[in-house]
Amino acid sequence: MGNISLGLNLEFARYENGSFDWAMDRAAEIGYRYVEPMVHWGRELLSEAGYFHSRSMLDDPLKLKHAAESRSLRISSISSHAPLAKPDIAVDYLKQAIRYAAECGSPMIMVDDGPVSGWTTEEENFTLMKYTLQEAVMVAEPRGIAIAIETHGPFTATPQGLDRLMKLVDSPVLTINLDTGNSYLSENDPHAWLDDIISNVTHLHAKDISVEDARRYRGKVRGMLGCACGEGVIDWERIIRTLTSADHDTVLSVECGSLDAATKSFHYLNDVVRRVSQQSPQPIS
């Protein structure tokens, strides 16, 4: 049965104008065991100045590894989103992200399927995504780094689209990051969807959507930062029960829009995991 660990996507720091180090400090103080940092190519002024949480892949990846270890944190994944259907952008970026992940101690990288060019057909986009994923897989496999496809873009907005994308390349390193909030906003039932794909889900974005935002944005957007887990539309007890039924471990990486929501989410999810464990004993980390 699968272990469940709680992690924090550092995206919460964006609306706090927080730096990478600030976000890492807050994650450790709250009690999270895992973090999901964001990386970028080249240099970015706001990050260098300490107003944004992303880290440049031009920096030594061992610095990121030390930043986590010095705070008794582990890295669940690095957020390295690149448009899969734009190989001129995505291929080299993802290859570097995979090599960076291998050195900084991350078991996987996070990617998604959008945006796409305005002039390509759906069939062309799938061909382009296959090319990108195949190139990335050839770098990921020998390093043992997973590539987690997030439910975030135009093709992963439905179970059928995600299934087709996952079948483009036959590789054990190609896995799924289900984003509960994004999948809900795309007018799916994330609970049933997780039930169907649990064998391939190696990472989960624990994102809740407030009732007000669900009413306003469902069917209109495919993604947004969430509210505190437990204050929205997601049934977390059902999600956690499904994760504990898996034959592999999973990190619940909270993705929300503020420090307050990150704190509330940790305490709420920790309580739910403990309650589910007591009802049906499972190892918790």
Domain-embedded: residue 284: no
Residues 186-232: pLDDT tens digits? 999 999 999 999 999 999 999 999 999 999 999 999 999 999 999 99
Q: Provide CB contacts within 8 A for 75, sequence distance 6+.
A: 34, 35, 36, 37, 64, 65, 68, 104, 105, 106, 107
**pLDDT for 283:** 45
Domain-embedded: residue 134: yes
Q: What is the mean pLDDT of residues 153-182?
A: 97
Find the domain containing 185 and state its range: 4-279
Domain-embedded: residue 190: yes
Cα(104)–Cα(6) distance, integer angstroms? 19
Residues 204-217: pLDDT tens digits? 999 999 999 999 99
Q: The domain spanning residue 95 has which CATH number? A: 3.20.20.150
User: pLDDT tier at 279 (50, 70, 90 boundaries)?
Assistant: confident
Q: How many structural domains is the chain composed of?
A: 1
Domain-embedded: residue 124: yes
Domain-embedded: residue 119: yes
Contact assessment for residue 36 and residue 7, using Cβ atoms and an 8 Å cutoff = yes
Domain-embedded: residue 198: yes
Cα(207)–Cα(241) distance, integer angstroms? 16
Q: Provide CB contacts within 8 A for 62, sequence distance 6+.
A: 103, 104
Cα(125)–Cα(86) distance, integer angstroms? 8
Residues 17-32: pLDDT tens digits? 999 999 999 999 999 9
Domain-embedded: residue 173: yes
Cα(13)–Cα(201) distance, integer angstroms? 26
